[in-house]
Amino acid sequence: MRDASFRSILAFVFFAYFPQTILAQSHDPSGVRTSLRDTDPVDVGTVISRGPGSVTVKNDLFTRAFRITAQTQVERVDHSQIQVGDLVAVRCHFDGEGDSIADSIEANVDRWEGVVMKILGDTVYIKFDPPAKGTAEVIIDGGTKFNYCASDDLKRDCTFGDLKIGRHLEAVGFVVGKSELHATSVLSIQRH
């Protein structure tokens, strides 16, 4: 998934991945937050600048600066700081002056899907669905959440045991290399 189609897919993933109530705005006059709410808006885009207490994100609709506080939760696989060029999803709220306060920032998140070619330990090798080309590794660990599984029981969530060669995998997670995704959620496993 690359560039323009990547942004479309990333936006879709976050609006499909998070509850639809994210479109509502929450107001907290103090600007200090102790927990995240499903009503907090989520903005997706590319980091174009990073300051000591802020990050500026740009997408096709806007460029917005988000203030980073001690309460901001930053999720990144290598636990390093947010960098210019990162693709991010920012969950935020607005203070009494209308400034955007970042409650959480997830960096380098993507949605990958393809046919399972091989499984070795906790690594699933997939061949991307067209129009994307190539293969990739999807790392699944104890923290990966499993969702829908196309099977005889449509109400059952998938498990690692449902991953079989030839099945179709759709996962969301952190991009940790050119062709490696650390899955935070398996969205579906289906017979191909």
Domain ranges of the chain: 3-107, 110-191
pLDDT tops 60 at residue 163: yes
Q: For the residues 140-154, what does the mean pLDDT come to?
A: 75
pLDDT tops 80 at residue 161: yes
Confidence label for 49 from pLDDT (cuts 50, 70 and 90): very high
Who wins on pLDDT, 150 or 185?
A: 185
Q: For the residues 36-63, what does the mean pLDDT come to?
A: 81
Q: For the residues 71-83, what does the mean pLDDT come to?
A: 82
Written as six digits, the tokens of 51 are: 């300051």
Dihedral sign (CA 86, 174, 18, 99): negative
pLDDT of residue 151: 58
Residues 110-135: b if buried by 16+ CB within 10 A, e if exposed? bbbbbbbeeeeeeebbbebeeebeee
Confidence label for 153 from pLDDT (cuts 50, 70 and 90): low
Select 110-191's CATH number: 3.20.20.70, 2.40.50.140, 3.60.20.10, 3.40.50.620. 2.40.50.140
Confidence label for 64 from pLDDT (cuts 50, 70 and 90): very high
The residue among 81, 35, 93, 79 whose CA lies nearest residue 55 is 81
User: DSSP assignment, residue 17?
Assistant: H
Written as six digits, the tokens of 22 are: 């994210």
pLDDT of residue 47: 93
Q: Which CATH architecture has domain 3-107?
A: Beta Barrel (2.40)
Written as six digits, the tokens of 90 are: 């920012």
Who wins on pLDDT, 124 or 9?
A: 124
pLDDT of residue 145: 86
Who wins on pLDDT, 119 or 14?
A: 119
Domains 3-107 and 110-191 share a fold: yes
Q: Any idea what the Cα angle at residue 118 is, between residues 12 and 123, rounded to 5°?
A: 65
pLDDT tops 60 at residue 185: yes
Mean pLDDT across the chain? 77
Q: For the residues 126-150, what does the mean pLDDT come to?
A: 88
- What is the pTM (predicted TM-score) of this model? 0.59
